[in-house]
Amino acid sequence: MSDNRTPDWNPRDDSILDDPLPTYDRMRRECPVAWSPFQHWSLFRHSDVMQVLHEPETFSNAVSQHLSVPNGMDPPEHGRYRAVIEPYFSPDAMARFEPRCREIARELVQSLPQAGSIDVIPAFAEDFALRIQCAFMGWRCDLHEPLREWLHRNQTATLAGDRDAMAQVAVDFDSTIRSLLAERRATSNDAPEDTTTALMRETVNGRALTDEELVSILRNWTVGELGTISASVGIVLNTLARNPQLRNRLAEAPENLGKTIDEILRRDAPLMSNRRVTTCPVTLGGRRIEAGERLTLLWASANRDETVFGDPEALNPDANADQNLLYGAGIHVCPGAPLARLELNTLFEELLYWRPQFEPEGTAKRARYPAGGFARLPLRFSAGPETE
């Protein structure tokens, strides 16, 4: 059994949880395919991760005991559901959402102090993720705080490895989603014309999506959005606060924001990892892995691979864009990438216009795996040149 093997590393060591990137950088050199009871087979190198991403017949996404649409599906089933959801992130869909996205971003940015300090994780990054997700889905504003509480409970249970608590959090979230579906059915033709209502009208394989499928899609979108957008906002804020020259350049040339944000998030991942399971015996990094073994794809390491990106700390968006795994690769590349880019680009356009002067204040605290980004990030804002 796997649990009887000698671990190659301990991903739950406090020193790694507090600051994982130095360990990831070392493991790429010393043990790029490593086993541990917690992560099973961890893949640190870009080339190994890319092999997994482009061989779905060998490395299956069906890793969850619960229905996961379409993340936890393999071809051909994956393609059928993927075709249903991709139009929600099309250029036309993004263009329709952009005005509301900008309105939310501007309101939040203008609520920041013109002079003073705040912890931007709860007061800005989380607020943005919650408001923007509810707006995109067409959910009521009174769901912001329940969703925040759910997000914190989920993070706490996951960090503690408390499976019972994690199961209860999932049940509570699914109950919220089912109540939203029931509300729309009760209002029939008066249901709001929004993303949630549109999904309820979708079909796959010639039939309507079941409630179980709808809940799974909405759960995946919400879990991914709340956690990764909040983490992304914190990571980019931290980078810009510590690099005023970069911040000033982007304020003067906001057309470069998109590619620069992608590159910042390559260097410091908002989403730390994903999972796969082998369908047959394989060899990766000189290690034989049997069928049915679980793999952890460490985006946070693969996207810092020196053999691909050179100095992992250097920001070089033009050179690194094609190999950046921020949104994955292969058939499971993130369908929501256009939405995430729209949200982040718009938020930082507004921030650098209305509140361009900010710097670190006090001690930041990293979020712990499996979360990325920061748990605490105090920044001081100061009045810059007047902007009309």
Tell me the mean pLDDT per 10 residues along the chain, length 388. 80 94 97 97 98 98 91 96 97 98 98 96 96 96 91 84 86 91 87 92 96 94 90 98 97 97 98 97 97 98 98 97 97 96 98 96 94 96 62
Both tokens assigned to 3:
């649990």
Compute φ and ψ for 53, nearest 5 degrees. Answer: -65, -30
- pLDDT value of residue 64: 87
- Candidates 125, 161, 112; CA nearest to 11 is 161
Q: Is residue 303 part of a domain?
A: yes
Residues facing residue 156 across a β-bridge:
none
Which value, in Å, is the radius of gyration of the alpha carbons in the chain?
21
Q: For residue 290, count other CB atoms closer than 10 A to its CB.
A: 10
Cα-based distances in Å from 314 to 20, 50, 302, 337, 366: 18, 22, 15, 23, 20
Question: CA 294, CA 299: separation in Å to the nearest integer?
Answer: 16
| Torsions phi, psi for 381 (to 5 deg) | -100, 145
Strand partners, 203: 208
How far apart are the C-alpha atoms of 7 and 374, rounded to whole Å? 28
E strand or H helix that includes residue 154: helix 144-160
Cis check for the bond before 70: say yes or no (omega within 30 of 0).
yes
156 within 8 A of 201, measured Cβ to Cβ: no
- HSE-CB for 20 with a 13 A CA cutoff: 31
Q: Residue 387: inside a domain, yes or no?
A: no
Q: Show Cβ contacts of residue 133 under 8 Å, excluding neighbours closer than 6 positions.
A: 139, 147, 221, 222, 225, 226, 229
Instruction: Show the tokens assigned to 311.
Output: 């100095």
pLDDT in the model for residue 111: 96
d(CA 270, CA 125): 12
Q: In 10 A of CB 316, how many CB atoms?
A: 13
Q: Which residues fall within 8 angstroms of residue 124, CB to CB, at 6 or more apart?
A: 108, 112, 118, 233, 237
Residue 154 has a pLDDT of 85
295 Cα distance to chain centroid: 19
State residue 386's pLDDT score: 42
Structure tokens at 134: 């509810």
Residue 232 in any domain: the answer is yes
End-to-end CA gap in the chain = 66
Domain CATH code at residue 45: 1.10.630.10
Residue 352 lies in a domain: yes
Please report whether residue 386 resides in a domain.
no
The strands making up 59-60's β-sheet, listed across from edge to edge, are: 33-36, 40-43, 294-298, 273-278, 59-60
Burial of 220 (C-beta count, 10 Å sphere; 0-12/13-18/19+): middle
Query: What is the pLDDT, as a whole number, of residue 167?
Result: 86
Q: Per the structure, how many domains does the chain have? A: 1
pTM: 0.95
114 domain-assigned: yes
| Residue ranges making up the domain that contains 63 | 2-381
- Using CA atoms, how far apart are residues 314 and 261, in angstroms rounded to an integer? 13
Q: How many CB atoms lie within 10 A of CB 325?
A: 21
Question: Do the beta carbons of residue 147 and residue 134 sit within 8 Å?
Answer: yes
Query: Would you say residue 146 lies in a domain?
Result: yes
Contacts of 239 (CB under 8 A, 6+ apart): 246, 264, 268
Greatest Cα pair distance, the chain, in angstroms, is 66
**What's the confidence (pLDDT) of residue 297?**
98
Q: Which residues have CB under 8 Å from 44's CB, separation 6+?
A: 24, 27, 28, 31, 32, 33, 34, 298, 301, 302, 305
Residue 388 resides in a domain: no
